[in-house]
Amino acid sequence: MQLIQEQKCFGGRQIRYQHEANSLNCSMQFSVFLPPQAELGPVPAVYWLSGLTCTDENFSSKAGAQRVAAELGLALIIPDTSPRGEDVADDAEGAYDLGLGAGFYVNATQAPWSMHYRMYDYVLNELPALVESELPLTGQRAISGHSMGGHGALVLALRNPERFVSVSAFAPISSPTDCPWGHKALEAYLGDDKAAWAEYDASLLLKEKGCSLPMLVDQGAADNFLAEQLKPDALKEAAEQAGASLELRLQPGYDHSYYFIASFIEEHLRFHAKHLSR
């Protein structure tokens, strides 16, 4: 881990690191907020997964999460949204929803993406192992995210409930097998095998496997992507069928932006802190 940037923030430290990511075959940057309590001993962590076009810096600079994380004694671990580098494949037409900034938190199996695009393995295994060996972290984890990152957070938690104590999301892509963003990404990264697609669909996973973790999802009612891309009703229906503990809140007047995230991030962090403290 190479330190590339650090600022004092609410008594803690906002840090940016760079490292060679074996699972992605490239150099990656990620951000970390360490609360002041980390000076005294290990603290639990909330992993945040960002959405399309974002880097690790969007959440750290726009969400205003550090104040509450400092109060609660929570570290924030914020990875990038895709592999990066000159030799990393990107969409030939420069589309925002495929390639760089759009890793969809899957393990790609199709060329040219399979050489680098293994964000599922990176977030689940490599990044936690790295930060927990180098930083004052307890190993207790919660996970959250926005849009594509909300999809990633839900999928990672549903497939690996033993790794997290709670999961939350803002405007997640709840049913990627049934929306344009998901179809484009899953077909490119995974090919035509719909069974492989289903392994990255939170609604299908929840319906099939259920979930023992507490789940909190906020969705803006004025979100332009609500009906076509996000489909929270599919997630709600799956939770009801599985008897899972999902709190899905439709927030009137809120859109898809970081203003929405900033408005409710405190509630999400307090939700996670409650479960991390058990």
Predicted local distance difference test score (pLDDT) of residue 171: 98
CATH number of the domain bearing residue 29: 3.40.50.1820
User: Could you check whether the bond before residue 128 is cis, i.e. omega within 30 degrees of 0?
Assistant: no
**Mean local confidence (pLDDT), 91-105:** 95
| pLDDT band at residue 48 using 50, 70 and 90 as cut-offs | very high
Domain that holds residue 185: 2-276
Q: Which of 56, 223, 268, 272 is labelled catalytic? A: 223
Q: Which of 147, 168, 174, 175 is labelled catalytic? A: 147
| pLDDT band at residue 20 using 50, 70 and 90 as cut-offs | very high
Instruction: Please state, in angstroms and rounded to a whole number, the distance separating the CA atoms of residues 113 and 272.
Output: 34
| pLDDT band at residue 237 using 50, 70 and 90 as cut-offs | very high
Structural domain count, the chain = 1
State how far the alpha carbon of 251 is from the alpha carbons of 120, 255, 260, 261, 263, in Å.
29, 9, 9, 11, 10
Instruction: Please state, in angstroms and rounded to a whole number, the distance separating the CA atoms of residues 60 and 54.
Output: 11
Predicted local distance difference test score (pLDDT) of residue 107: 98
Q: Measuring CA to CA, which residue among 19, 24, 22 is closest to residue 113?
A: 24
Judged on CB neighbours under 10 Å (0-12, 13-18, 19+), 121 is middle
**Mean local confidence (pLDDT), 235-245:** 94
Residue 278 has pLDDT above 90, yes or no: no
pLDDT, one tens digit per residue, over 148-183 is 999 999 999 999 999 999 999 999 999 999 999 999
Active site residue 256: yes
Judged on CB neighbours under 10 Å (0-12, 13-18, 19+), 160 is middle
Instruction: Please state, in angstroms and rounded to a whole number, the distance separating the CA atoms of residues 144 and 165.
Output: 11
Active site residue 116: no
Helix (H), strand (E) counts: the chain: 10, 9
Structure tokens at 157: 């938690």
Predicted local distance difference test score (pLDDT) of residue 177: 97
**Mean local confidence (pLDDT), 134-145:** 98
- The per-residue pLDDT of the chain, averaged, comes to 97
Contacts of 108 (CB under 8 A, 6+ apart): 114, 116, 117, 118, 188, 189, 190
pLDDT, one tens digit per residue, over 53-82 is 999 999 999 999 999 999 999 999 999 999
Q: Which of 151, 256, 268, 272 is labelled catalytic? A: 256
Predicted local distance difference test score (pLDDT) of residue 176: 97
106 contacts 119 by C-beta, under 8 angstroms: yes
pLDDT, one tens digit per residue, over 261-276 is 999 999 999 999 999 9
Percentages helix, strand, coil for the chain (3-state, rounded to 5) are 40, 25, 35
| pLDDT band at residue 277 using 50, 70 and 90 as cut-offs | confident
